A and B are shown apart, each in its own frame.
Chain A
Amino acid sequence: MSRLSGYFTWKRADLAWALLLLVCTLGLPFAISNDYYVNVLVLMFLYAGMASAWNIIGGMAGQFSLGHTAFVGVGAYTSTLLYNYAGVSPWIGMIAGGLISMVLAVIIAFPAFRMRGVFFAMATLAFGETVRILLMASRKYIDVPYGLSINYEPGLSRMIFEERTSYALLTGGFLILVTIAAFVISRSYIGAYLRAIRDSEEAAVASGIAMRRYKMIALLISAFFTSIGGTLLAQYVLYIEPTSVFNMAISVDLPLMALLGGIGTIAGPIIGTAIALPLRDILLETFGQSAPGLHLVIYGIALIVIVILLPNGLIGGVRSLRNRFTSKPKPQPVPETAP
């Protein structure tokens, strides 16, 4: 622990950001009364939390996972099965799901950490799909219905609420928790190690960083929090099935949101979610009636344009703008050296 705090760096702006986050997560649920907007808010908090969790392994460590839906699904299924069949409270099921996800993470890490870049992405993508297929195939041997619904009996111990506002507070709390974890990792020596690994694995290993250990730490934390997000999703929707929680779209959405805001930064995934989710909703509202799928066509094209124009996300764009106006000496691009 002393090592964790030893290198810790604080910035003056941190306090302002923390206040903003607190106001948003604790204030907005009460400020908004329209049920539809509270629904958007709940999903935004939830996805922002999961995108931040993805960002720990995907952004800070640069290990571009496209299989996080496996953790979401395991979180959702573990808590729901435990609740429906053994009466275990989702609060405990949530932790159990997180632990199982960590075990899964260790299994996939064994082959996947040997790869980098887009091949890591392909392997994790295949991993996410494999978990879904195994789950669906296992129904032959275990008597579990295709879709699982949770009985609507509100209660704090059952993590089911009457008011959407309570869900907004719950998911808001989740977002705060993940953000704190991401903040601690990013500002401590672990974050520095992870960024070193991201920028050059060879250089990181040459400087004596135990690469596998730190990649593993990042993946485990990421898997744990993503899995908790899965439990919360199940408790909010109260119905899960293999194709809804084990869905490649989730695996794609999380990195996407991190990328839109600014990959590898703490605020990036939150900002990205705050843009992407409402954008999709607005597009659906505007174009949903005219033709099925039109809103996603526009969404896809918007993505392409944004990713090409702002490769470092919104935060990166703002930074480069600020650099241009304050006319600091431009940072020299570091020439990439061949391994």
Chain B
Amino acid sequence: MEILIQLVLSGILLGGVYALAALGLNLIFGVAKIINFAHGEFLMLGMYAGFWLMTLTGINPYYGAPLIAVAFFILGALFYTGVMRFTIYKPELTQVFVTLGLSIALQNLALMFWQADYRTIQTMPPGYASLMVGNINLPTDRVIAFGFAVAILTAIIVFLKTTFTGRAIEAVSQDLMSARLMGISPQKIFLLTFGLGIAITGVAGGVLIPSFYAFPSVGSFFVLVAFVVVVLGGLGSVTGTIVGGLTLGIIETLVGYFTPDLKEATHFVLLILLLAVRPHGLLGIKGAEKETLK
């Protein structure tokens, strides 16, 4: 029984992290209807940002998160104006290949600058690496990352539901044409969403680096995780991302405990089955998977 509680709690912590890692992808998909295949690479860059922040300046990435957020917001805005702006009303194929091309370029850029070494940092002083709650052992860096996930997800939901700009983003994601008729400029919303999505992804990478290794191709692992979370929870739904992340985290931890070899396979089998049975996810809007920008 105790082991089960331990597993489920670990799964929830992991799930929160996964939700945070996938949120940016879902936000951008919801608004611009683009699946960003370079999403994992932005997460990888975020991990390196956390790593170098700690190594070069000694700033703990937990405190440096706002810095990373600002830097990655600018990066996301550049990503939109420099690349994605040209693909926005183009066929899906163009979008897939532009983001795949970017993913190749970014991955190798990281290889060029930082070699293929596995890097990680220790943010906790020795002795504080894990929290004991009764007999249950929780790694501290995961708990903190989970805290970040909860805070950021809450902030995003509040932002989208209550502020004017947030509602404008929601409007564009629901119906571009009507939003435009209401005087919302889609270009500005796209710019903002890409900035926001990449900023969240960067912060996610920054708080993940203490518990995961950073290396140039780490993104291809996380992009698949993000796909699963997004499809599981629902395309274009922020609350869905939370549900999807938690579900995947718990399933993965449980499967990993019993058959460690097939841990990774659970992602993909889950993804295929879900896409087949319930392509709009647990909480997604029905038909979202068929939508494209018109």
A304 with B275: CB separation less than 8 A: no
Given contacts A119-B279, A297-B112, are A126 and B104 in contact (CB under 8 A)?
no
A300 with B268: CB separation less than 8 A: no
Find residues 89-145 in chain B having any chain A CB closer than 8 Å to their own CB.
Answer: 90-98, 100-112, 115
Cβ-neighbour of B227 out of A116, A126, A140 (below 8 A): A126
Cβ-neighbour of A111 out of B98, B112, B275, B289 (below 8 A): B275
By secondary structure, the A interface counts as: helix
Residues on the B chain within 8 Å of A112, using CB: 272, 275-276
CB distance from A134 to the nearest CB of B (A): 6
B90 with A64: CB separation less than 8 A: no
Given contacts A115-B276, A122-B271, A252-B100, are A293 and B109 in contact (CB under 8 A)?
yes
A114 with B105: CB separation less than 8 A: no
Cα A339 to Cα B271 in complex, Å, equals 25
Name the residue among B83, B90, B264, B268 with the largest chain A CB count within 10 angstroms: B268
With CB as the reference atom, state the residue of chain A lying closest to B90.
A311
A-B Cβ contacts below 8 A, count: 142
Given contacts A119-B289, A122-B231, A297-B105, are A64 and B271 in contact (CB under 8 A)?
no
A304 with B105: CB separation less than 8 A: yes
By Cβ-Cβ distance, the 5 closest A-B pairs, closest first, are: A300-B105, A111-B276, A303-B101, A293-B108, A300-B104
Residues on the A chain within 8 Å of B111, using CB: 292-293, 296
Cα A339 to Cα B290 in complex, Å, equals 9
Pick 30 A–B contacts, CB within 8 A, sort by A: A108-B272, A110-B276, A112-B276, A117-B290, A117-B292, A118-B92, A119-B279, A125-B224, A126-B224, A126-B227, A126-B269, A129-B264, A129-B268, A130-B269, A134-B262, A134-B265, A248-B220, A252-B100, A263-B93, A296-B104, A296-B107, A300-B108, A301-B105, A303-B97, A303-B98, A304-B105, A307-B94, A307-B101, A308-B90, A311-B90
Residues on the B chain within 8 Å of A134, using CB: 262, 265
Residues on the A chain within 8 Å of B39, using CB: none
B268 with A130: CB separation less than 8 A: yes
Find residues 220-277 in chain B having any chain A CB closer than 8 Å to their own CB.
Answer: 220, 224, 227-228, 231, 261-262, 264-265, 267-269, 271-273, 275-277
Find residues 100-150 in chain A having any chain B CB closer than 8 Å to their own CB.
Answer: 108, 110-112, 114-119, 121-123, 125-127, 129-130, 133-134, 136-137, 140
Residues on the B chain within 8 Å of A300, using CB: 101-106, 108
B96 with A301: CB separation less than 8 A: no
CB distance from A301 to the nearest CB of B (A): 5
A294 with B268: CB separation less than 8 A: no
Given contacts A64-B92, A114-B276, are A304 and B98 in contact (CB under 8 A)?
yes
Cα A294 to Cα B109 in complex, Å, equals 7
Residues on the B chain within 8 Å of A108, using CB: 272
Residues on the B chain within 8 Å of A153, using CB: none
With CB as the reference atom, state the residue of chain A lying closest to B235.
A119
Cα A291 to Cα B220 in complex, Å, equals 22
Residues on the B chain within 8 Å of A133, using CB: 262, 264-265, 268
Interface membership of B35, Cβ < 8 A: yes
Cα A108 to Cα B272 in complex, Å, equals 9
With CB as the reference atom, state the residue of chain A lying closest to B114.
A293
CB distance from A66 to the nearest CB of B (A): 8
Cα A259 to Cα B98 in complex, Å, equals 11
Interface membership of B188, Cβ < 8 A: no
Given contacts A64-B93, A118-B35, A122-B271, are A296 and B276 in contact (CB under 8 A)?
no
A259 with B105: CB separation less than 8 A: no
Residues on the A chain within 8 Å of B231, using CB: 119, 122
With CB as the reference atom, state the residue of chain A lying closest to B83.
A304
Given contacts A119-B289, A252-B100, A296-B105, are A140 and B268 in contact (CB under 8 A)?
no
Interface membership of A336, Cβ < 8 A: yes
Interface membership of A299, Cβ < 8 A: yes
Q: Per-residue CB proximity of B155-183 to A under 8 Å, as 1/0?
A: 00000000000000000000000000000
Find residues 65-80 in chain A having any chain B CB closer than 8 Å to their own CB.
Answer: none
Cα A3 to Cα B278 in complex, Å, equals 38
A296 with B87: CB separation less than 8 A: no
CB distance from A49 to the nearest CB of B (A): 21
Cα A11 to Cα B32 in complex, Å, equals 42
Cα A2 to Cα B241 in complex, Å, equals 53
With CB as the reference atom, state the residue of chain A lying closest to B94.
A311
Find residues 272-316 in chain A having any chain B CB closer than 8 Å to their own CB.
Answer: 291-297, 299-304, 307-308, 311
Cα A252 to Cα B216 in complex, Å, equals 18
CB distance from B248 to the nearest CB of A (A): 13
Residues on the B chain within 8 Å of A48, using CB: none
Residues on the A chain within 8 Å of B93, using CB: 64, 259, 263, 311
A126 with B96: CB separation less than 8 A: no
Given contacts A116-B290, A133-B265, are A123 and B272 in contact (CB under 8 A)?
yes
A292 with B94: CB separation less than 8 A: no
With CB as the reference atom, state the residue of chain A lying closest to B115.
A292
Residues on the B chain within 8 Å of A297, using CB: 104-105, 108-109, 112
CB distance from A250 to the nearest CB of B (A): 13
B98 with A127: CB separation less than 8 A: no
Residues on the A chain within 8 Å of B290, using CB: 116-117, 339
Cα A129 to Cα B223 in complex, Å, equals 13
